[in-house]
């Protein structure tokens, strides 16, 4: 048996892809190992969304040069978005890469690895963004899967993106939007439930445009209804939603289906209409604010998370002030903030990256600081109340405590002796930080 190690960079879709790759390999002649140094096959599943993500992979590849000199038989593979973006040129770099495999070719991995025989790099990428190769996530590789947590699973419902936001490389790398037939998804979720899974998170780059191109027509709201009868499944989440496709119908579905959790991840990206236009986002900041009002009116207890990009080309102090104002008004539970990074080939790459790094850093810090205040205020408001948490397992920071999440995605820490992973517990909240609340179990 050959030993395989995989390191994953980037988003949840990548985490799922890695899981399914390992499931597929473990089903053939491979054993998964947690330590790179004992592996015969080292795989990096990569991300290209920002230059920083790519730099991390380059430095890992550079570090493998020594290992490869000592053990030339080790196979090194670069998978995912960077593989798609850089193709064969990755194999030439450092001279350590034996295999380059794009995100839509991962299903072929076992046979691609067979082809790695030292006679030159094996390269599998699709040049056509509409090519009919299906993502590995769509394949039924689950039975042999290597799910990191038994009671939770990611489920791909669509891949690719046709939005072409001007800064974003995803539509070029993950390809055209393809939705998966609802029957296949429900079947997979049933199998997951039989295997002890209680919580699913539906994944799509643009999850709320789910259903486009499927016949008969189906929406994400229709799909959400289909998990209600699946015994064993307690919670259903979905990420990431695009503001322009966030419909009243979907909000009504979230409110009315008991299993669907009261949490939305809806990135505004900017609070300035001028910048939103340059980003090709298709909505204004006023529209985004209306969406928040509507969501909070329709879905009791809903929490919302956002993403912002700071330092998009031409962003002025005035533009940024609008972003800061939106972040404060939005009252997010969490917010992710990114410094703009030029992605070659995107529309925004035509614009000069004219906001100095120092200014991007300052704006990044200012948003994070404002969000920290909101995050702390919201979590302090929970002190004295009792929340229901789905237990994930031991806390990363303090393994003597357990961690869980509320339905609206707030992290909860508490003391407990037993292994309660996958169970629902009631916790009385006694303290709060910007990232989590802590308390005591009152009932299991």
Interacting residues toward ligand 5AD by CB under 6 A: 49-50, 167-168, 267, 269, 307, 309, 338, 340-341, 343
The least distance separating ligand SF4 from the CB of residue 161, rounded to whole angstroms, comes to 3
Round to whole Å and give the CA distance between 279 and 266: 16
**Of ligand SF4, ligand 5AD, none, which one sits near residue 343, judging by CB under 5 to 8 A according to partner kind?**
ligand 5AD
| Nearest residue (CB) to ligand SF4, 77 versus 171 | 171
* Residue 385 interface partner, choices ligand 5AD, ligand SF4, none, CB cut-off 5-8 Å depending on type: none
Contact 335, 306 (CB under 8 A): yes
Site for ligand SF4 in 241-270 (CB under 6 A): 242
Structure-block tokens of residue 142: 């689950």
Judged by beta carbon distances under 5 to 8 A according to partner kind, the member of ligand SF4, ligand 5AD, none in contact with residue 161 is ligand SF4
Q: Which of 22, 165, 389, 427 binds ligand SF4 (CB under 6 A)?
A: 165
Rounded to 5°, angle at Cα 82 from 77 and 85:
120
What residue spans of 142-284 are helical by DSSP H? 170-173, 182-194, 220-225, 248-256, 273-278
Residues 110, 70: Cα–Cα separation, whole Å:
25
CB closer to ligand SF4 out of 201 and 386: 201
- The partner in contact with residue 275, picked from ligand SF4, ligand 5AD, none with C-beta cut-offs of 5 to 8 angstroms by kind, is none
Q: Which is nearer to ligand 5AD, 49 or 324 (CB)?
A: 49
166 versus 409: smaller Cβ distance to ligand SF4: 166
168 binds ligand SF4 (CB under 6 A): yes
> Closest separation between CB of residue 246 and ligand SF4, Å?
12
Report the relative pairing of strands 235-239 and 199-203 from DSSP bridges.
parallel
What are the structure tokens assigned to 243, written together? 């503001």
Q: By C-alpha distance, which of 25, 55, 27 is closest to 39?
A: 25
Give whichever of 137 and 163 is closer to ligand SF4, judged by the CB atom: 163
Distance CA 10, CA 45 (A): 8
Residues 6 or more apart whose CB falls under 8 angstroms from that of 246 comprise: 208, 264, 266, 291, 295
Q: Provide φ and ψ at 430, rounded to 5°.
A: -120, -20
Residue number with CB closer to ligand 5AD (163 or 395): 163
Residue in the structure block whose two tokens are 């940024």:
320
d(CA 205, CA 39): 32
Given ligand 5AD, ligand SF4, none, residue 152, with its beta carbon under 5 to 8 Å by kind, binds none
Asked if residue 163 binds ligand SF4 (CB under 6 A), the reply is: yes
Helix, strand, coil % in the chain, rounded to nearest 5: 35, 25, 40
State yes or no: residue 170 binds ligand SF4 (CB under 6 A).
yes
Backbone angles phi, psi at 332, to 5 degrees: -70, 150
The CB-of-20 to ligand SF4 minimum distance in angstroms stands at 20
* Number of residues binding to ligand SF4, judged by CB under 6 A: 10
Which of 48, 84, 205, 375 is in the footprint of ligand SF4 by CB under 6 A? 205
* Interatomic CA distance for residues 186 and 24, integer angstroms: 21
Decide which of ligand SF4, ligand 5AD, none touches 205; Cβ closer than 5 to 8 Å per partner kind. ligand SF4
Q: Using an 8 Å Cβ cutoff, are 83 and 105 in contact?
A: no
Given 61, 158, 161, 202, the residue binding ligand SF4 (CB under 6 A):
161
Q: Using CB atoms within 10 A of its CB, is residue 7 exposed (0-12), middle (13-18) or buried (19+)?
A: middle
> d(Cα 221, Cα 236) in Å, to the nearest integer?
12
Q: Are 188 and 153 in contact (CB under 8 A)?
A: no
* Among positions 141, 171, 175, 271, the unique one binding ligand SF4 when judged by CB under 6 A: 171
Q: Choose the stretch contacting ligand SF4; rule: CB under 6 A; options: 6-14, 16-24, 56-64, 156-164.
A: 156-164
Which of 120, 114, 87, 118 shows the shortest CA–CA distance to 101? 87
Q: Considering the complex, what minimum distance in angstroms separates the CB of residue 124 from ligand 5AD?
A: 25
How far apart are CB 242 and ligand SF4 at their closest, in Å? Answer: 5
The answer to whether residue 206 forms part of the interface with ligand SF4 (CB under 6 A) is yes
Q: Tell me the C-alpha distance between 219 and 238, whole Å.
A: 13
Nearest distance in Å: CB 289, ligand 5AD: 18
Closest distance between ligand SF4 and the C-beta of residue 343, in Å? Answer: 10
Q: Residues for the chain: how many in total?
A: 444
Site of interaction with ligand SF4 (CB under 6 A): 161, 163-165, 168, 170-171, 205-206, 242
């Amino acid at each position: 048996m050959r030993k395989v190690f995989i390191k994953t960079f980037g988003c949840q879709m990548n985490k799922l892809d890695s899981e399914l790759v390992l499931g597929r390999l473990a089903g053939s002649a491979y054993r998964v190992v947690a330590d790179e140094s004992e592996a015969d096959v080292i795989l990096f599943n990569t991300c290209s969304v920002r230059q920083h993500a790519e730099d991390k992979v380059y430095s890992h590849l550079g570090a493998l040069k020594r290992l490869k000199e000592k053990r030339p038989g080790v196979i090194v593979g670069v998978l995912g978005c960077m593989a798609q973006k850089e193709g064969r040129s990755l194999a030439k770099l450092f001279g350590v890469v034996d295999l380059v495999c794009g995100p839509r070719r991962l299903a072929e991995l076992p046979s691609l690895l067979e082809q790695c025989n030292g006679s030159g790099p094996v390269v599998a990428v699709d040049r056509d963004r509409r090519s009919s190769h299906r993502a590995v996530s769509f394949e039924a590789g689950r039975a042999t899967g290597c799910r990191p947590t038994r009671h939770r699973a990611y489920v791909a419902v669509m891949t690719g993106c046709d939005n072409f936001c001007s800064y974003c490389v995803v539509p070029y790398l993950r390809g055209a939007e393809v939705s998966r037939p609802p029957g296949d998804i429900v079947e997979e979720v049933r199998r997951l439930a039989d295997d002890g899974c209680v919580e699913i998170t539906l994944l799509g780059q643009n999850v709320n445009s789910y259903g486009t191109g499927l016949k008969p027509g189906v929406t994400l709201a229709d799909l959400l209804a289909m998990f209600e009868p699946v015994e064993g499944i307690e919670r259903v989440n979905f990420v990431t939603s695009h503001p322009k496709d966030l419909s009243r119908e979907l909000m009504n579905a979230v409110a009315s289906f008991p299993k669907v959790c009261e949490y939305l991840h809806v990135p505004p990206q900017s609070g300035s209409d001028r910048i939103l236009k340059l980003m090709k986002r298709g909505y204004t900041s006023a529209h985004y604010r209306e969406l928040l009002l509507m969501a909070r009116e329709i879905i009791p207890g809903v929490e919302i998370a956002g993403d912002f990009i700071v330092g998009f080309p031409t962003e002025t102090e005035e533009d940024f002030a609008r972003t800061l104002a939106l972040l404060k008004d939005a009252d997010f539970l969490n917010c992710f903030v990114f410094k703009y990074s030029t992605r070659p080939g995107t529309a925004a790459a035509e614009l000069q990256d004219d906001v100095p790094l120092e200014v991007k850093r300052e704006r990044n810090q200012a948003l994070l600081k404002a969000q920290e205040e909101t995050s702390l205020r919201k979590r302090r408001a929970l002190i004295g109340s009792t929340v229901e948490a789905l237990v994930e397992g031991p806390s990363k920071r303090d393994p003597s405590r357990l961690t869980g999440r509320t339905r609206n995605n707030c992290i909860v820490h508490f003391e407990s002796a037993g292994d309660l992973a996958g169970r629902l517990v009631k916790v009385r909240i006694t303290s709060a930080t910007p990232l989590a609340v802590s308390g005591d179990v009152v009932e299991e």
